[in-house]
C-alpha cells in the first residue's frame, strides 16, 4: 500500500512544489520590478541628473556637490522610499481588510478609513493641541490614527450584524466617506486662510512631505506588523473559504478579526497621517497581487505589499513627469489611474456573480 | 455505562437571542452510523448542526465519547468534530491540494501535510484534481474537495449542512456514497441536514425529524417515514413505497 502511495504522493509533491516555486518566482519578479521602479523614480526629476551620477552619488555621497547631495539625500531618496513604504503599508492593509471582511471591494480608502484619518488630522490642524511630550506632527498623526481605528471598529461592528452583506458594508463605507468629508469641509469653512492652506495640502496625498523621521517610523511600523500578518496568514486563508468553516476548524475568528483590524488601523493611519490621503493603492494592489499569486494569504500579503509599493513608485514617477517642473501630489495620480481600474474590477466581479 | 457515541440530551441552541432548539434529545448516535436530519424549512436543522459544531450557543448535555462538548476547548472540539457548510466559495485562487493543506495547517496534528492532504483526496477519488485551481472546478467537484478538507482532519464526527443541495444527480450520489464509505471505514459519526427525503432514506442509517425545534421522530427510514409523519411535519398527503431493498420512494399526492 505504502509502496503504491509513494510515487503518487511524489507526483503531487512535484505539482505542489512547482506551484510554490512559481509563487516565489513571481514575488522575486515583483521585487526586481520594484527596485527598477525605485531607480526610475530616483532618476526622474527637474534637475536633470543622470542615473549614473545618481547611483554614484548614492554610493559615494562625499564626492557630491552640496546641491546634488541635498537633491539626492533630502529630496529624491526620501520621496522614493516614502512611496515604497506607503504603497506597501496601504496595500497590505487593503489585503488584510479584504480577507477579514471577505469583501474584494474593501480598502482603507473605499471604506472610509482614510477619510476618517483625514478628519482626525484636520481636527488637530484646525484646533491645535499642544503637548510637552509630542511634536505637532506627532499629535496630528496620533489623531489620524485614533480616528482610523474608530472607523475600522465601526465597520467591524457593521460586519458583525446579522444580515449585513457585502453591499451593506460598502454602502456604509461610502456613507462614512461622505460624512467625514462633510465634516472636513465644515472645518475648512471655519479655518483661517493659513490653516485652510495646510488642510488642503494635507488632504492631497503627497510623498513630498517625506523626511527621514517619518520614514523610519513607517519602516518600523511595517517591520513590526508584517511578521504578525504572516503569522495570521494561514488562518486568513481558511477564513477566505468561509467564516463558518474557519471557525469550526478551530480558528477564533473574532480574535483574528480584532487583531487584524488593529494592524490595518496602524498601517493605514500611519501612512495617511504622514502623506495624506492616497486612494486606490489599498484596493488595486491586493487585486493585482491576487491575480498574480492566488489566494494563499502567506504569499498574498507580501505580494500585496510589494505590488502596492511598485504601484506607488510608478505613480510617483508619473507625478513628476505629467507637468514639467511641477510635482503633482501623488494622491491625484493614484486616484486618476485607480478609478478606471476600480470600475473594471466592479464589472469583473459583476460578471462572476 | 460509558458512551462511545454522540449523546444529545435536552440540548438547547440559541441563534442570536432567539432560542431555536428548546429541548432536543436523541438516542446515542453510534460510531459508524450516518444520521440524516430532515424537516421543513425553519425547523431548526441547520441551527442544531451549528450548535453541535460550536457556531451557535449550545446548552444541555451533549457529549462525545463521554466528554461534554459544552465545556471542551475550541481546539479540542475542532479536532474531534468537523463541520461542512453548504458551499465552498467559488472564485478562490487556491489549488485543490493547497486548500486541503490549509485546512490541516490550522489545528492539524503535525507531520507531512502534503502527504495527509493527498491521502484524503485519494480516499475520495479526486487525487487527479490535486493541482487544479478551485475556481476552475464545478460545484460538485468543489463539494468533494470540501469533503476532502474534513476527511483530512481525521475527525470523529462529521456534520454536513445540505451537502447535496445545488448538485446534479450524479454528484448527489457521489457525495453521499463518499460520506457513507468514510463513515463505515473510519467509524465516524455523521449527522447530515438533508432536504431530499429519498436520498436520506437511501443513505442514512437513522433519520431524525425536526419541526419547530422539536424532534418529531427518530429511527430507521421505514419506521420513521410514514404518511402520518408527512401529514404532521410537512402538511402533505404522501405515501411511501419500497422500490428495492435500498430505496424508498415518497409519493406526494396533494397538500393536506
User: What pLDDT shows up at residue B2?
Assistant: 65
- Same-domain check for residues B44 and B150: yes
Numbered residues of chain A with Cβ closer than 8 Å to any chain B Cβ: 5, 8-9, 12-13, 15-16, 19, 162, 234-235, 237-238, 240-242, 244-252, 290-291, 293-296, 352
- Same-domain check for residues B174 and B81: yes
A290: which chain B residues are within 8 Å (Cβ-Cβ)?
A: 93
- Same-domain check for residues B156 and B244: no
Q: Do A12 and B99 touch (CB under 8 A)?
A: no
Mutation site, B17, B81, B93, B125, interface A, largest A CB count within 10 A: B93
In our burial notation (b when 16+ CB lie closer than 10 A, e otherwise), range A304-323 reads bbbbbbbbbbbbbbbbbeee
Residue at B191 is within a domain:
yes
Residue at A347 is within a domain:
no
Residue at B1 is within a domain:
no
CATH label of the domain that carries residue A213 = 1.10.3470.10
User: What pLDDT shows up at residue A165?
Assistant: 64
- Same-domain check for residues B75 and B164: yes
CATH label of the domain that carries residue B104 = 3.40.50.300
Q: Do B74 and A252 touch (CB under 8 A)?
A: yes
- Predicted confidence (pLDDT) per residue in B98-130, tens digit: 999 999 988 767 778 898 999 999 888 888 999
Residue at A126 is within a domain:
yes
User: What pLDDT shows up at residue A346?
Assistant: 66
User: What pLDDT shows up at residue A279?
Assistant: 82
- Predicted confidence (pLDDT) per residue in B35-65, tens digit: 999 999 888 899 999 999 988 889 888 999 8
Q: Do A9 and B75 touch (CB under 8 A)?
A: no
Residue at A301 is within a domain:
yes
Query: Which of A15, A244, A290 lies closest to B131 in CB terms?
Result: A15
- Predicted confidence (pLDDT) per residue in A298-311, tens digit: 999 999 999 999 99
Residue at A11 is within a domain:
no
- Same-domain check for residues B235 and B171: no
A351 confidence band (pLDDT: 50, 70, 90): very low
For chain B, what is the domain count? 2
Q: Do A242 and B114 touch (CB under 8 A)?
A: no
User: What pLDDT shows up at residue A352?
Assistant: 45
B184 confidence band (pLDDT: 50, 70, 90): very high
Q: Which three cell numbers stand for residue A206?
A: 503627497
Three-state SS sequence of B161-187: ECCCCCCCHHHHHHHHHHHHHHHHHHC
- Same-domain check for residues B234 and B216: no
For chain A, what is the domain count? 1
> Which pTM value belongs to this model?
0.87
- Same-domain check for residues B117 and B134: yes
- Same-domain check for residues B220 and B230: no
Q: Is the pLDDT confidence value at A26 over 80?
A: yes
Q: Is the pLDDT confidence value at A27 over 90?
A: yes
User: What pLDDT shows up at residue A182?
Assistant: 94
Residue at A315 is within a domain:
yes
Mean pLDDT of A23-38: 95
Question: Do residues B217 and B224 touch, judged by C-beta distance below 8 A?
Answer: yes
Mutation site, A21, A248, A288, A298, interface B, largest B CB count within 10 A: A248
Nearest to B153 by CA among B126, B186, B181, B130: B186
Mutation site, A245, A254, A288, A298, interface B, largest B CB count within 10 A: A245
Q: Do A250 and B74 touch (CB under 8 A)?
A: yes
The span from the CA of A308 to the CA of B108, in Å, is: 33
Residue at A353 is within a domain:
no
Mean pLDDT of A330-347: 78
Q: Which three cell numbers stand for residue A128?
A: 491645535
Q: What's CA B94's distance to the chain center, in Å?
A: 25
* ipTM associated with this complex: 0.88
Residue at A207 is within a domain:
yes
- Same-domain check for residues B242 and B144: no
Range of the domain at A144: 22-325
Residue at A331 is within a domain:
no
- Predicted confidence (pLDDT) per residue in A155-210, tens digit: 878 777 766 666 677 788 889 999 999 999 999 998 888 888 888 877 788 887 77
- How close A246 gets to chain B, by Cα (Å)? 8
Mean pLDDT of A102-122: 85
Residue at B11 is within a domain:
yes
Alpha helix segments (H runs only) across A161-280: 166-190, 193-203, 212-240, 243-248, 253-275
How large a percentage of chain A has pLDDT more than 70?
93
Range of the domain at B194: 6-225
- Predicted confidence (pLDDT) per residue in B204-245, tens digit: 999 999 998 889 899 988 888 888 888 888 888 888 888 877
- Same-domain check for residues B177 and B249: no
Amino acid at each position: 500500500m505504502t509502496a503504491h502511495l509513494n510515487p503518487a504522493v511524489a507526483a503531487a509533491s512535484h505539482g505542489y512544489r512547482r506551484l510554490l516555486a512559481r509563487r516565489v518566482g513571481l514575488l522575486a519578479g515583483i521585487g526586481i520590478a520594484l527596485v527598477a521602479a525605485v531607480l526610475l523614480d530616483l532618476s526622474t526629476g527637474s534637475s536633470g541628473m543622470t542615473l549614473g551620477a545618481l547611483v554614484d552619488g548614492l554610493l559615494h555621497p562625499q564626492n557630491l556637490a552640496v546641491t546634488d547631495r541635498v537633491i539626492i539625500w533630502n529630496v529624491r531618496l526620501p520621496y522614493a522610499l516614502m512611496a515604497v513604504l506607503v504603497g506597501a503599508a496601504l496595500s497590505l492593509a487593503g489585503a488584510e481588510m479584504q480577507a477579514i471582511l471577505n469583501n474584494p471591494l474593501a480598502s482603507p480608502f473605499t471604506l472610509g478609513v482614510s477619510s476618517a484619518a483625514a478628519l482626525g488630522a484636520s481636527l488637530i490642524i484646525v484646533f491645535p493641541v499642544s503637548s510637552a511630550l509630542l511634536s505637532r506632527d506627532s499629535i496630528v498623526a496620533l489623531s489620524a490614527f485614533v480616528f482610523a481605528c474608530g472607523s475600522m471598529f465601526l465597520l467591524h461592528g457593521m460586519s458583525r450584524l446579522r444580515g449585513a452583506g457585502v453591499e451593506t458594508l460598502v454602502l456604509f463605507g461610502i456613507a462614512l466617506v461622505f460624512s467625514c468629508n462633510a465634516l472636513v469641509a465644515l472645518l475648512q469653512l471655519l479655518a483661517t486662510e493659513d490653516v485652510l492652506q495646510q488642510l488642503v495640502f494635507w488632504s492631497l496625498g503627497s510623498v513630498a512631505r517625506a523626511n527621514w523621521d517619518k520614514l523610519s517610523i513607517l519602516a518600523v511600523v511595517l517591520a513590526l506588523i508584517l511578521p504578525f500578518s504572516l503569522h495570521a496568514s494561514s488562518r486568513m486563508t481558511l477564513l477566505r473559504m468561509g467564516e463558518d468553516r474557519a471557525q469550526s476548524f478551530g480558528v477564533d475568528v473574532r480574535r483574528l478579526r480584532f487583531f487584524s483590524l488593529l494592524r490595518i488601523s496602524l498601517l493605514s493611519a500611519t501612512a495617511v497621517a504622514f502623506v495624506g490621503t492616497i486612494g486606490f493603492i489599498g484596493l488595486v494592489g491586493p487585486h493585482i497581487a491576487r491575480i498574480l499569486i492566488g489566494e494563499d494569504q502567506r504569499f498574498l500579503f507580501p505580494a500585496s505589499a510589494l505590488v502596492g509599493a511598485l504601484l506607488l513608485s510608478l505613480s510617483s514617477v508619473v507625478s513628476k513627469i505629467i507637468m514639467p517642473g511641477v510635482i503633482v501630489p501623488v494622491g491625484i495620480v493614484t486616484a486618476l489611474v485607480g478609478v478606471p481600474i476600480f470600475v473594471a474590477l466592479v464589472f469583473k466581479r459583476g460578471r462572476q456573480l | 455505562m460509558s458512551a462511545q457515541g454522540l449523546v444529545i440530551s435536552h440540548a438547547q441552541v440559541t441563534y442570536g437571542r432567539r432560542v431555536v432548539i428548546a429541548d432536543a434529545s436523541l438516542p446515542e448516535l453510534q460510531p459508524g452510523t450516518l444520521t440524516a436530519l430532515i424537516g421543513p424549512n425553519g425547523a431548526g436543522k441547520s441551527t442544531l448542526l451549528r450548535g453541535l459544531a460550536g457556531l451557535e450557543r449550545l446548552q444541555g448535555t451533549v457529549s462525545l465519547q463521554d466528554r461534554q462538548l459544552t465545556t471542551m476547548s475550541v481546539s479540542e472540539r475542532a479536532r474531534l468534530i468537523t463541520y461542512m457548510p453548504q458551499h465552498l466559495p467559488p472564485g478562490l485562487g487556491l489549488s485543490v491540494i493547497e486548500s486541503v493543506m490549509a485546512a490541516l495547517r490550522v489545528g492539524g496534528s503535525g507531520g507531512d501535510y502534503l502527504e495527509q492532504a493527498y491521502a484524503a483526496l485519494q480516499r475520495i477519488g479526486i487525487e487527479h484534481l490535486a493541482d487544479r485551481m478551485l475556481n476552475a472546478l464545478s460545484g460538485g467537484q468543489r463539494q468533494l474537495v470540501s469533503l476532502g478538507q474534513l476527511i483530512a482532519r481525521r475527525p470523529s464526527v462529521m456534520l454536513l449542512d445540505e451537502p447535496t443541495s445545488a448538485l446534479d444527480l450524479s454528484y448527489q450520489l457521489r457525495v453521499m456514497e463518499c460520506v457513507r464509505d468514510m463513515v463505515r471505514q473510519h467509524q465516524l459519526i455523521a449527522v447530515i441536514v438533508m432536504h431530499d427525503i429519498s436520498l436520506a432514506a437511501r443513505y442514512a442509517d437513522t433519520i431524525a425529524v425536526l419541526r419547530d425545534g422539536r424532534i418529531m421522530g427518530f429511527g430507521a427510514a421505514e419506521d420513521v417515514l410514514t404518511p402520518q409523519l408527512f401529514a404532521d411535519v410537512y402538511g402533505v398527503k404522501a405515501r411511501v413505497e419500497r422500490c428495492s431493498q435500498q430505496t424508498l420512494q415518497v409519493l406526494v399526492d396533494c397538500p393536506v
